[in-house]
């Protein structure tokens, strides 16, 4: 795979015109330090669940899979915390106008655009996925 090639594992849905019910991020923590803000992403759009994982130039997308919390290690060294972006950022109930994907050097991006002009981006670069709302 070339540096700017994008692979999608799963069927890419058409989400424009549909309402976002929920957007969750699963954070990955190691030894008390946030290592990856968006290890996995869970979306519920018009009642349908989608699970996303970005890794280098690959997007894994599973329709019908909700984002469930992964078990933490008993010693607390490894933790997975779920953050509800739809609630925290006021995105629940927003109409989606765009759901796009693109390759980045050494990674990939998924962007969700909303009717009010806001844009939620999940960006994977150098094996770490983060999110940005603008």
pLDDT at 134 over 80: yes
pLDDT at 2 over 90: no
Question: Could you list the residue range(s) of the whole structural domain that residue 14 is in?
Answer: 7-67+75-133
Please give the tally of structural domains in the chain.
1
The predicted structure's pLDDT at residue 1: 46
| Tokens describing residue 117 | 């002009």
Residue 99 within any structural domain of the chain: yes
Residue 2 within any structural domain of the chain: no
Residue 1 within any structural domain of the chain: no
| Tokens describing residue 48 | 């349908």
DSSP-assigned letters across all residues of 44-93: EETTEEEEEEEETTEEEEEET---PPPPPPTTSSEEEEEEEHHHHTT-TT
Residue 89 within any structural domain of the chain: yes
Residue 13 within any structural domain of the chain: yes
- 84-131 confidence digits (pLDDT tens): 999 999 999 999 999 999 999 989 999 999 999 999 999 999 899 999
pLDDT band at 64 (very low <50, low <70, confident <90, very high): very high
Residue 20 within any structural domain of the chain: yes
Percent of the chain whose predicted confidence (pLDDT) is above 90: 82
Q: CA-CA distances (angstroms) from residue 99 to 15, 35, 73?
A: 6, 26, 34
Rounding to the nearest 10 degrees, give the CA dihedral for residues 129, 21, 16, 67. 40
Residue 91 within any structural domain of the chain: yes
**122/120 Cα distance (integer angstroms):** 7
């Amino acid at each position: 795979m070339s540096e700017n090639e994008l692979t999608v594992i799963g069927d890419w849905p058409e989400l424009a015109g549909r309402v976002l019910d929920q957007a969750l991020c699963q954070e990955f923590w190691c030894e008390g330090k946030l290592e990856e803000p968006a290890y996995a992403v869970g979306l519920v759009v018009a009642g349908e669940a989608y699970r996303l994982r970005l890794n280098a130039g690959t997007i894994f997308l599973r329709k019908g899979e909700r984002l469930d919390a992964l078990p933490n290690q008993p010693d607390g060294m490894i933790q997975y915390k779920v953050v509800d972006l739809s609630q925290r950022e006021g995105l629940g109930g927003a109409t989606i106008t765009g759901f796009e994907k693109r390759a980045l050097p050494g990674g990939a991006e998924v962007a969700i655009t909303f009717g009010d002009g806001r844009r939620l981006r999940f960006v994977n670069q150098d094996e770490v996925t983060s999110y940005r709302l603008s």
